[in-house]
A = this chain, B = another copy of it.
């Protein structure tokens, strides 16, 4: 599917680089004949598989996976007033089955609260049923009118992980929110993606929530990308959908809920944060292939080298690594280019002289070379993959630090944003001052209660009115 069409654009031209890389590295095909819908190529799908395997592994510790229908009947969808206001402009409606108009219109889920909670009302009877924690990984739909981008803003979100929980008290739901945040931290640590956590302003919270904690990352062009949200739903939905339980004293009580979502934006971030001018760079934990072996066959050593490469592959696979032996009839240089584009973390080159020395050349996709011993290949590869993970994470974290700054005035904020940064300002938490900041800096107030390892967020006077203000994250967003 790859065609010779010149070089990958430089990463500094981020938008072109991203679009071109999705195609060249065979992640996604954007030529599907409907705007905002995309096709996962096999290689991209494999990346998705490993990333979501990791997410499921973390969720499965204390959530159960389930699957609810895509189609939501209009009357359920319309029950929660705030919620429907938040989604009514972007819901796809099914109105016909065959040539017959449906009696009740069916919404394609934009998110599944209104599909799941009528069932929760049946599932939850007593305090012994709580906490209830489920999740599903599903396709969801938004009729986006803004510019669409693969994995970042799509009309079919193909890979939406949504978790939904029910608790006896508001405080237990709050503890669940913190638990989901911890899970998200651990997930993104596996992906080596630096994140900043904050509490979205009230006007930007999930429709129907008490509050929303959001997880953002900084993309190469300085824009922030929301890559996870956890919502404390209070008792809004449980009252609407009658999710009640009998407590230990036999009294009927209203339950409290949370929901939490991560979409394939996690893969958009994975690609964007780590990639370079040569292509993808995949952290070993989620790389489709962790090691590619390229035999360097010269003259009459051909068979020895191939045999040694096959043994090396077998040894590494036995140890549990995902390995490919590239024995295609191509120049080694063309193979290097091929696998660098596709982000394989470690390339092992094996030629006659390496074989004599009992070693292989190990080239790290994160930069630098070393050698591994053929006799102790699995231990050496494990160590080198660890170094690669560290290098990828360190580089990403340093970059995040470089793109975060503090701004004490609107001028400073505008400069910071124009330089491709995300800034911490102080804000009095009045809507008026918030609007002024957003308008004058063409930006979004991402949130207060900033949690970041990469910048200190201290309180101070509001940059608009001078009254006492809270540290607040401001950025230009996707």
Q: Which residues of A contact B (CB under 8 A)?
A: 1, 29, 31-34, 37-42, 45-46, 48-49, 64-71, 73, 76, 88-100, 104, 106, 108, 115, 118-119, 122-123, 129, 134, 139, 141, 143, 155-156, 158
Q: How far is the CA of A96 from the CA of B49 in the complex (A)?
A: 32
A–B Cβ pairs within 8 angstroms, 14 of them: A32-B115, A37-B69, A38-B69, A39-B69, A42-B66, A45-B65, A45-B67, A46-B65, A71-B92, A88-B99, A89-B99, A92-B94, A94-B94, A139-B139
- Closest partner residue, chain B, to A139 (CB atom): B70
Q: A71-B156, A99-B89, A156-B71 are in contact. Are A118 and B33 (CB under 8 A)?
A: yes
B34, B93, B118, B155: which contacts A96 (Cβ < 8 A)?
B93
A34→B71 contact, CB < 8 A: yes
A128 → B minimal CB distance (Å): 11
For the complex with contacts A34-B69, A88-B98, A95-B96, 9 further pairs of A-B residues with Cβ separation under 8 Å are A1-B129, A33-B76, A34-B73, A34-B106, A40-B67, A42-B134, A49-B65, A89-B99, A91-B98
B71, B89, B98, B122: which contacts A98 (Cβ < 8 A)?
B89
A32→B156 contact, CB < 8 A: no
Per assembly, the copies of the chain total 2
A304 → B minimal CB distance (Å): 30
B37, B40, B70: which contacts A66 (Cβ < 8 A)?
B40
- Closest partner residue, chain B, to A115 (CB atom): B32
A141: chain B residues within 8 A (beta carbon): 70-71
Q: A70-B156, A73-B33, A122-B31 are in contact. Are A65 and B94 (CB under 8 A)?
A: no
B94→A93 contact, CB < 8 A: yes
Q: How far is the CA of A42 from the CA of B68 in the complex (A)?
A: 11
A464 → B minimal CB distance (Å): 34
Q: A73-B34, A119-B29 are in contact. Are A143 and B41 (CB under 8 A)?
A: no
- Closest partner residue, chain B, to A28 (CB atom): B67
Q: How far is the CA of A141 from the CA of B106 in the complex (A)?
A: 13
A67→B92 contact, CB < 8 A: no
- Closest partner residue, chain B, to A29 (CB atom): B119
A139: chain B residues within 8 A (beta carbon): 70, 139
A100: chain B residues within 8 A (beta carbon): 143
A91: chain B residues within 8 A (beta carbon): 97-98
Q: A95-B95, A97-B143, A119-B31 are in contact. Are A66 and B49 (CB under 8 A)?
A: no
Q: How far is the CA of A68 from the CA of B38 in the complex (A)?
A: 7
Q: How far is the CA of A91 from the CA of B40 in the complex (A)?
A: 24
A441 → B minimal CB distance (Å): 30
A89: chain B residues within 8 A (beta carbon): 98-99
Most buried by B among A39, A41, A68, A129: A39
Q: How far is the CA of A143 from the CA of B34 in the complex (A)?
A: 23
A28 → B minimal CB distance (Å): 10
A115: chain B residues within 8 A (beta carbon): 32
Q: How far is the CA of A76 from the CA of B115 in the complex (A)?
A: 30
- Closest partner residue, chain B, to A1 (CB atom): B123
B32→A69 contact, CB < 8 A: yes
B94→A108 contact, CB < 8 A: yes
A70: chain B residues within 8 A (beta carbon): 139, 141, 156
Q: How far is the CA of A68 from the CA of B156 in the complex (A)?
A: 10
Q: How far is the CA of A122 from the CA of B3 in the complex (A)?
A: 12
A71→B119 contact, CB < 8 A: no
Q: How far is the CA of A33 from the CA of B64 in the complex (A)?
A: 22
Q: How far is the CA of A119 from the CA of B23 in the complex (A)?
A: 13
A92: chain B residues within 8 A (beta carbon): 71, 94, 96-97, 106
A123: chain B residues within 8 A (beta carbon): 1, 29
Q: How far is the CA of A417 from the CA of B331 in the complex (A)?
A: 66
Q: A76-B33, A89-B98 are in contact. Are A119 and B39 (CB under 8 A)?
A: yes
A255 → B minimal CB distance (Å): 15
B69→A41 contact, CB < 8 A: no
Q: How far is the CA of A73 from the CA of B118 in the complex (A)?
A: 32
A60 → B minimal CB distance (Å): 10
A97: chain B residues within 8 A (beta carbon): 90-93, 143
A-B pairs, 8 with minimum CB distance:
A97-B143, A42-B64, A37-B69, A40-B67, A89-B98, A93-B96, A95-B95, A92-B94
A101 → B minimal CB distance (Å): 10
A156: chain B residues within 8 A (beta carbon): 69-71
A104: chain B residues within 8 A (beta carbon): 34
A40: chain B residues within 8 A (beta carbon): 66-68
A76: chain B residues within 8 A (beta carbon): 33
